[in-house]
Chains A and B, each alone.
Chain A
């Protein structure tokens, strides 16, 4: 397949309307095709889910087709993950992910329809990069922090990176914005092939992404936490009674940045 170009965009309208048009409506259209290409769990995420204590419950915020709901594959009933997504058509797939009945909820990742701090863990995989402003991305992180236990909650977040894998099929425009540390707003085309294989009949849907710059994800998470009055760093650095988060992992894998956070209180 020829490399697909990613084009730069700038957002001038209301971000919620923008996301409705360039994210939510697109996923509703491409859901079955999208889902058929998203079946392999990424190793860091599978390892995270296998590392959780038995009996924990979690939220997959932006679950898509629910491919992480059946994990850990070696012992699926050890933990219990509930999927949340804005796309009803993806949820219709997710509710039977892995061939069993799954719990899914139709909501926006900026919503918080839960008892406060009720989950033991939360994952947000390839989701926050679909939010159209820094403020909204920060709010999405805060929703994850609110969803998990302030004393032992664990969170794993994956977002798309400006720094792309060599194996990626995508070409990123090189004219860089002056402030690369702020990431890059782009459209990524999704090509729905028509049955007769003639290119003219292919339908192209442009999905909005915010590609994260190096360091931007940890910055965003730290800002989100500090706004909620949380300390950022290991528990041992603080002697007073307080709550905080610690980065346990912080890396880049296959064109994505990811962080794993642990909440603590003393």
Chain B
């Protein structure tokens, strides 16, 4: 699956593509929502590692796609809040761990390399001449 937690860690690794290679942009995505166990301790510890803007933007892209589904709240504040209340953590949990991108493409903002997602598995393989 490509959940937004994974998407937030991935970067383009094509030959010579070393700057502006994150976040990969979603295109033509199909999404499934699956419940996951809520673990606030995990979220609080993991949060500082998130690239917040990338998460907020990809959550917006995803929610534009899933507006036709019944979904939880994908609205996250533009800045990471200092006070982590339960409502915020539940939203973060939903966005990070319950939105699964099953099909689609991730495009590098810099070199435009396409990484396809099929059956929930992102193909990050490069052809031999693209390996840095």
A118 to B10, CA, bound (A): 10
Is chain A's interface secondary structure helix, strand, loop, or mixed overall?
loop
A16 to B9, CA, bound (A): 27
The 5 sampled A-B contact pairs (Cβ below 8 Å) are: A16-B128, A55-B44, A80-B42, A101-B100, A104-B1
B41 within 8 A of A: yes
86-136 of chain A: CB within 8 A of chain B? 86, 88, 91-92, 95, 101-108, 110-115, 118-119
> Which A residue sits closest to B45, measured CB to CB?
A55
A53 within 8 A of B: yes
> Which A residue sits closest to B119, measured CB to CB?
A92
- On B, residues with C-beta under 8 Å from A are 1-3, 5-6, 9-13, 22, 34, 36-37, 39, 41-46, 49, 51, 100, 119-126, 128, 131
> Which B residue sits closest to A85, measured CB to CB?
B121
Interface residues of A, count at CB 8 A: 33
Nearest 8 Cβ contacts at the A-B interface: A55-B45, A107-B124, A113-B124, A77-B39, A113-B13, A103-B6, A106-B123, A77-B37
Point out the residues of chain B lying under 8 angstroms from A56, CB to CB: 45
A102 to B51, CA, bound (A): 21
Point out the residues of chain A lying under 8 angstroms from B9, CB to CB: 57, 82, 114-115, 118-119
Point out the residues of chain B lying under 8 angstroms from A79, CB to CB: 42
Q: Is the CB of B10 within 8 A of A105?
A: yes
Q: Is the CB of B5 within 8 A of A53?
A: no
Contact with B along A50-61 (1 / 0, CB 8 A): 000111110000
Give min CB distance, B54 to chain A, whole Å: 10
Give min CB distance, A153 to chain B, whole Å: 12
A108 to B124, CA, bound (A): 8
Point out the residues of chain B lying under 8 angstroms from A16, CB to CB: 128
Point out the residues of chain A lying under 8 angstroms from B34, CB to CB: 101
Give min CB distance, B112 to chain A, whole Å: 16
Point out the residues of chain A lying under 8 angstroms from B45, CB to CB: 53-56
A111 to B3, CA, bound (A): 20
Give min CB distance, B14 to chain A, whole Å: 9
Interface centre among B2, B9, B100, B126 (most CB of A within 10 A): B9
Q: Is the CB of B39 within 8 A of A78?
A: yes
Point out the residues of chain B lying under 8 angstroms from A118, CB to CB: 9, 49
> Which A residue sits closest to B50, measured CB to CB?
A118
Interface centre among B12, B100, B119, B120 (most CB of A within 10 A): B120
A16 to B10, CA, bound (A): 24
Give min CB distance, B110 to chain A, whole Å: 14
Give min CB distance, B89 to chain A, whole Å: 12
> Which B residue sits closest to A59, measured CB to CB?
B9
A101 to B98, CA, bound (A): 10
Point out the residues of chain A lying under 8 angstroms from B124, CB to CB: 105-107, 111, 113
Given contacts A57-B9, A105-B121, 12 further A-B contacts (CB under 8 A): A55-B42, A55-B44, A76-B37, A79-B42, A82-B6, A91-B121, A101-B100, A103-B3, A104-B121, A108-B125, A110-B131, A114-B13
Point out the residues of chain A lying under 8 angstroms from B42, CB to CB: 54-55, 77-80
Point out the residues of chain A lying under 8 angstroms from B122, CB to CB: 105-106
Point out the residues of chain A lying under 8 angstroms from B36, CB to CB: 101
> Which A residue sits closest to B14, measured CB to CB?
A113
Q: Is the CB of B1 within 8 A of A95?
A: yes
